[in-house]
Structure 1
Amino acid sequence: MMLISCLLRSAAGPHAIVNGKEVINFASANYLGLIGHEKLLDSCISALEKYGVGSCGPRAFIGTIDVHLDCEARIANFLGTPDSILYSYGLSTMFSAIPAFCKKGDVIVA
């Protein structure tokens, strides 16, 4: 087996500099390139000041607050649907919504 050494010299984002060459970074969760975006940081600070922090988790455990309902309304309006459901945690979607709407023979691409 041959090991290849690479030196990463940029922040985690959709693109990275490895050994002096720009490459697409498929290993980053920052695929939209929003880490460090000033407007997003200001919004996060504002939310922390208003709501504080918690243990996180599904709304069944932490409750529903105004930002959940506002976001659902905005998504529904954007999609042109009567309503939408916001899941705050990806695994909760996989374990609840997908089984609720799918049947034997359906193909799910995730």
Structure 2
Amino acid sequence: MFNGSESAAGPHTIVDGKEVVNFASANYLGLIGNEKIIDSCISSLEKYGVGSCGPRGFYGTIDVHLDCESKIAKFLGTPDSILYSYGISTIFSVIPAFCKKEDIIVA
């Protein structure tokens, strides 16, 4: 049980007197409060606002989408990649495009 010695959002917590990694937190990597990340976030918000907030085909593509796709493709050694900025759009586009009626999908 959390003993209150750390924030519940922290990367670690105490359970039964033992320190454990808190994977239930969005901060399990311990990056919340990192000044470099905060500065980068502020710069991104000042330049782009809050983002497209949905599928790029509807709300638009920005340079960081294309840059990230290029880096992913290079890392994977593929000619190209597609980045979805809205998770639910993957369900409605990628999965139907690559699966047949007889396929079983485990998600």
Do both share a fold (TM > 0.5)?
yes
Percent sequence identity is 74
Give, in whole Å, the separation in 1 of the partners of 2:94 and 2:10.
30
Q: 2:5 aligns to what?
A: 9
**Aligned to 2:92, which of 92, 95, 98?**
95
Contact 1:8 1:19 in 2 (8 A): no
Q: 1:51 Cα shift?
A: 1.5
Query: Which sits farther off after the overlay, 40-49 or 26-35?
Result: 26-35
Normalised to the residue count of structure 2, the TM-score between the two structures is 0.76
Contact 2:54 2:85 in 1 (8 A): yes
Contact 1:68 1:86 in 2 (8 A): yes
CA-based RMSD: 2.4
Q: 1:23 Cα shift?
A: 1.9
Q: How many residues align?
A: 105
Question: Residue type of the partner of 2:63?
Answer: D
Give, in whole Å, the separation in 1 of the partners of 2:5 and 2:13.
7
Contact 1:76 1:82 in 2 (8 A): yes
Residue 79 of structure 2 corresponds to residue 85 of structure 1? no
Q: 1:54 Cα shift?
A: 5.2
Q: 2:103 aligns to what?
A: 105
Give, in whole Å, the separation in 2 of the partners of 1:80 and 1:90.
23
Q: 1:107 Cα shift?
A: 4.1
Tell me: CA distance 1:6–1:36, structure 2 relative to 1, closer, same or farther (3 Å).
closer
Give, in whole Å, the separation in 1 of the partners of 2:34 and 2:92.
32
Q: 1:9 Cα shift?
A: 3.1
Q: 1:40 Cα shift?
A: 1.7
